[in-house]
Amino acid sequence: MALYEHVFIARQDLTNAQAEALIEHFGQVLKDNGGDVSGFEYWGLRSMAYKINKNRKGHYLYVKSDAPSTAVEEMERLMRLHDDIMRILTVRVEAHEEGESAVVRSKNQRDDRGGRGGRGGRGGRRDD
């Protein structure tokens, strides 16, 4: 079996729980066809560079899998038919990256920086 990474974008009007349920649903499709999901991440509701189906934002979902090509084809076929999925990207990889993806690491680094303290008051005024 081959290793794949899948990124898909779901409609913005879904809740976080509904978006994460899509991961479980399509992971089950892979398992039913002889594959295995080795990891997944919910990247959150993010702005897109351009509108897709009148949506400016979308829920980004990431799945790592080890599956035969027939299972991946079936999953992609069902994703194209699903009304909540707007875009799909599947990439075959040599090996899965250990730990978190680069998107999650980048987000965690931004969160660790803390507030914007020491920038003065509003409008460039200094509170002396």
pLDDT of res. 76 = 94
Model confidence at 113, in pLDDT bands (50, 70, 90)?
A: low
Rg (CA), the chain: 19
pLDDT of res. 121 = 56
Ordered structural domains, the chain, with CATH: 1-87 (3.30.70.60)
Query: How confident is the model over 10-42, as pLDDT tens digits?
Result: 999 999 899 989 999 999 999 999 999 988 888
The structure tokens 């875009």 sit at 87
Query: How confident is the model over 43-74, as pLDDT tens digits?
Result: 889 999 999 888 899 999 999 999 999 999 99
Strand spans (E) along the chain: 2-11, 36-52, 55-67, 85-93
Kindly tell me the sign of the dihedral angle through the C-alpha atoms of 72, 23, 112, 56. Answer: positive
Token output for 117: 């303290």
The structure tokens 């999650």 sit at 104
Token output for 98: 């250990």
C-alpha–C-alpha distance, residues 19 and 97, integer Å: 23
Write phi, then psi, for 109 (nearest 5 degrees). -65, -40
